[in-house]
Structure 1
Amino acid sequence: MRRYRHGLVLGKFYPPHAGHHHLVATAADRCDLLTVLVCAATVESVPLADRVAWLREIHQDPGIRVVGTVDDIPMDVRDPAIWDAHMAVFRAAVPEPVDAVFTSEAYGGELARRFGAEPVCVDPARSLFPVSGTAVRADPVAHWDFLRPPVRAALTRRVVVVGAESTGTTTLARDLADHYRARGGLSARTPGVPEYGREFSERKLARLRAARPGADWSDVVFGSDEFPVIARRQAERETEAARLTSPVLFCDTDAFATTVWHERYIGGPNAAVAEIAARTRRQHLWLLTDHTGVPFEDDGLRDGEELRPWMTGRFAAELARTGRRTVRVTGPRDRRLTTAVAAVDELLVEGWDFADPLVVPGGGAGAAVPVPDLTEHR
């Protein structure tokens, strides 16, 4: 089997899937250096930088180089001038000589000829991995197991339960995870992300009691600098879970909620917490647990029963101000779960709003047909 000095794999990777990774791995095994060129159009809804980052994480072999470029030229494989325009984009991104072009597509021969390279076809029937970028965009859930962790983390629908103390946030988050696991299939893998702030508080109280036996929660004092630590770790745990999860993830609080908890304990905003909440905003639905009709239970890490109406109001106000999709849940436990499940199911039915790739005019009367895009690659 011939070996090459410099090979090329070119595609949209919109998004990357198992077929892409097989193509890259196969090409890398036959090349001293493999360049993976990610071509993205600005009309597409997955940023070029994300696709490049995902591929670099997945393919960390030192012989693989991943680069990206913007290609906003619609493709018509019948038009030599359009081919020339695309090649100018490709050559600008990969100026070095290319010895082999690895593809699974019919256009591979022409693409290789224009690079002055040998065409190498890999699994053109897609028998090993029956998946395509078009299929993933149309139905990510049906092709979930063809996706690697960083792509799953980006696509997972994240549902966050927030609320004041002793309003059932933890109970609802657990009930939701249990409900969706019971549906089976992919949903059987549905995890929950617990509240890191509670774990942090338990350790803080334990340290105080080690120094002062008999101390209780009222003796614990928080510093403003502790809240960014809580927010950051909460966001990290959420992303860790999303990488390995089913298409939906349930979180007992998030970094955003920490902004309100900082107000409650310190008395004002914290710019660092707000920055973390903004930077890690990947969630899709917030469920706000109402305090009305919920008895206050002191579990040893709670106080401020009288503050619950204020906190519920602050959560509602900040959720609205920041444009977060919110459903408020009230009533007994079973009604709350019913309301929450309906909201989550509505989110899932809406699906994943991938922008269509570029189209080329055709068909008369202003119609358009999908572009036979040479950078689709599965």
Structure 2
Amino acid sequence: MIKKNLVKANLSGDRIGVFFGTLAPMHIGHQAEIYKAAALNDGVVVIASGYTGDRGDQIGLSVEKRFRYLREAFNDEDNIKVDYINEDDIPQMPNGWQEWTDRLTATIQRNIVNPNAQITLYTGEADYKEMLEKMLPQDGRFRVSLMDRTILKVSATAVRNDPLGNWDYINRVFRRHFAKKILVVGAPLTGKSTLTRRLARTSNSPFSVEFSRTYQEKSNVLESELLLKDYSRIIQGQYDANSDEINSPANNGLTFFDTDAMVTMAEARAWLPAGDLDQLLPLFDNTIREEDLDLILVIPPTVAVWNGGDAEESAEFDRHLWDIMTEYGFADKAVMLDRVGGVDDEAGYYARYIQALEIIEDKVGINLTKV
């Protein structure tokens, strides 16, 4: 059975609104105008438009990705349908107005039932209104409405230049693209879960927990007893746990992860037979390459020894971890938390916490001590 929100029926009715733009990203100003169009018409076609190398694509938001985000954002709105225009094969503005307008009208028509419906296009640019009124078919079906930008004073340019400073204005689906992602890693018994939790709560940010620990406790299985099938579940489980925090309404622009697929891979190298590990490589490859981390905080293996861990095993795990981060191109994002504590902080927990805050400010640009 096809889910309704995946393939929506074409919009019916005699009055159709059309909202178009780069939408990189969509913000609450766009949303307000789209909802205005929805209130004044029988349905709305929202169209993302762009080309390879445009201002959205330059920050990793291709027009296809914008389309998918928009479709997700409006998946529960029956009278709002989303489409997109790829401009790669037409002249760029201002030379491609007629070609673009022809494509616009064709995109509208393929999303509506009544080909003779009255179409109102909404734009925030006065020169767009002027050009469209010249280029659109002169058959009485089309009108162009200029939106009032003084109601919600926010721009996509301002959001792109300072996403975290304009976080409250970004549509929730689009926020995942701008969220800063910080991973905390280390050998077992290094206190990474505690540090992850405390760093996240310092900034009131969401954080994931170590899925492997939850899985092992639920299955009542030791780390050395994990099989190939267990690792495949752990890889996907941790990825989903991290993704849930990125997509969480609590995401305030900063997310923390307690381990990821690279940590799981280091564990697999330590415990799994080579043949089993080879079978997992495609899953590791796909999962790790999907990660878009901004910073990796690495707790040194000596901390594990302080907490009763085996020195040789901890050092071996650390070597595996750095090898993996290097293999997958993440070594330049990794910073060792090597600060030593004083006489009242012999294990260095507080020293590393403060060091982590300083590194986050330096590498990510967020000063958590002022939050």
Q: TM-score, normalised on structure 2?
A: 0.78
Matched residue, 1:368 = none
Deviations 1:132-189 (A, max 9, x none): 111101111121011232211121110001111112212321232233x2xxxxxxx3
Matched residue, 2:63 = 48
Conserved? CA contact 1:165–1:305, under 8 Å: no
Distance 1:274 1:88 in 2: 45
Conserved? CA contact 2:189–2:303, under 8 Å: no
Distance 2:191 2:150 in 1: 48
> What does 1:70-149 correspond to in 2, within 5 Å?
70-72=86-88, 73-76=91-94, 81-91=95-105, 93-95=107-109, 99-106=119-126, 107-116=128-137, 117-122=142-147, 124-127=148-151, 129-149=152-172
Deviation at 1:276, TM superposition (A): 4.4
The 1:4–1:26 alpha-carbon spacing in structure 2 relative to 1, beyond 3 Å, is: farther
Of 320, 335, 339, which aligns to 1:314? 320
Matched residue, 1:224 = 228
The 1:99–1:92 alpha-carbon spacing in structure 2 relative to 1, beyond 3 Å, is: closer
Of 124, 133, 154, which aligns to 2:177? 154
Distance 1:254 1:294 in 2: 19
Structure 1 spans left out of the alignment, 5+ residues = 182-188, 209-216, 351-378
Structure possessing the higher relative contact order (Cα contacts under 8 Å, 6 or more residues apart): 1
> What does 1:290-329 correspond to in 2, within 5 Å?
290-297=300-307, 306-324=312-330, 325-329=333-337
Conserved? CA contact 1:288–1:329, under 8 Å: yes
Distance 2:284 2:306 in 1: 28
Say which is worse superposed, 92-101 or 311-320, in terms of deviation.
Answer: 92-101
The 1:266–1:248 alpha-carbon spacing in structure 2 relative to 1, beyond 3 Å, is: same
Deviation at 1:13, TM superposition (A): 0.3
Distance 2:196 2:150 in 1: 40
> What does 1:163-174 correspond to in 2, within 5 Å?
163-174=186-197
Distance 2:304 2:211 in 1: 23
Deviation at 1:95, TM superposition (A): 4.8
Deviations 1:97-156 (A, max 9, x none): 56211223312243255334112233x1331x2211111011111210112322111211
Matched residue, 1:362 = none
RMSD: 2.5
Distance 1:279 1:150 in 2: 21
Matched residue, 1:241 = 245
SS at match of 2:81: strand
SS at match of 1:342: helix
SS at match of 2:284: helix
Matched residue, 1:34 = 44
Whether 2:355 is the aligned partner of 1:339: answer yes
Distance 2:296 2:318 in 1: 13
Deviation at 1:281, TM superposition (A): 1.0
Say which is worse superposed, 279-288 or 82-91, in terms of deviation.
Answer: 82-91
Equivalent AA in structure 1 for residue 97 of structure 2: W
Q: TM-score, normalised on structure 1?
A: 0.77
Matched residue, 2:364 = 348
Distance 1:293 1:119 in 2: 65
Whether 2:284 is the aligned partner of 1:274: answer yes
Structure 2 spans left out of the alignment, 5+ residues = 1-12, 341-347, 367-371
Distance 1:112 1:265 in 2: 68
The 1:272–1:292 alpha-carbon spacing in structure 2 relative to 1, beyond 3 Å, is: same
Deviation at 1:312, TM superposition (A): 0.3
Distance 2:303 2:119 in 1: 71
The 1:309–1:327 alpha-carbon spacing in structure 2 relative to 1, beyond 3 Å, is: same
Deviation at 1:51, TM superposition (A): 0.7
Distance 1:21 1:234 in 2: 33
Distance 2:212 2:109 in 1: 51
Matched residue, 2:369 = none
The 1:92–1:119 alpha-carbon spacing in structure 2 relative to 1, beyond 3 Å, is: closer
Equivalent AA in structure 1 for residue 100 of structure 2: H
Equivalent AA in structure 2 for residue 70 of structure 1: N
Distance 2:169 2:288 in 1: 30
Distance 1:153 1:70 in 2: 23
Deviation at 1:30, TM superposition (A): 2.9
Conserved? CA contact 1:159–1:287, under 8 Å: yes
Deviation at 1:274, TM superposition (A): 0.7
Conserved? CA contact 1:7–1:27, under 8 Å: yes
User: Percent same amino acid among aligned pairs?
Assistant: 22
SS at match of 2:219: helix
Equivalent AA in structure 1 for residue 120 of structure 2: A
Deviation at 1:259, TM superposition (A): 1.5
Deviation at 1:20, TM superposition (A): 1.2
Distance 1:195 1:344 in 2: 21
Deviation at 1:258, TM superposition (A): 1.4
